[in-house]
Structure 1
Amino acid sequence: MRAKVGAIVLGALAIITLPLNWSGAPAALGASAAWLGGLARGSHPQAGAARGFGIVGIVIVVLEIVATVFGGVAGQLFG
């Protein structure tokens, strides 16, 4: 029960902190939501909203990585 609530809260915080992507907070919160949602290796996946916010957390982490890598490359090429 606590993991489900934690996944939902951390996933929501990851979404709310997206404007602060320079801080790394959305990625850390998203990864934590995914872990609590049971999407880590060897974990039992949660159901319902907890799993949904875990998936959102994974998406946010991937987007942060892509933005960091390609943002840096674009800055070097066009800056």
Structure 2
Amino acid sequence: MVLTLKELEQKGLTIPLWPDAGEAIGAGRTSAYRMAKDGTFPVPVLRIGKSYRVITADLVALLSGPIDVKAIA
């Protein structure tokens, strides 16, 4: 089940690479872990023991789209 941005934000500071982060970017399990291992996952991945985790705020920022700095200024 793909989570909404609001659901992702409520998950805490970090979320598991799979299924939460992987599914959020449309990647399958194998692809998500391969990207994490070769450094091509679109946001930084933390390796904590045997677990792979993603900082929730980084993923939410990615999924929210680019920020137009000129529009803010």
Relative to the length of structure 1, the TM-score reads 0.25
Larger radius of gyration: 1
Q: Normalization by structure 2: what TM-score?
A: 0.26
Q: Which protein has the bigger helix share?
A: 1
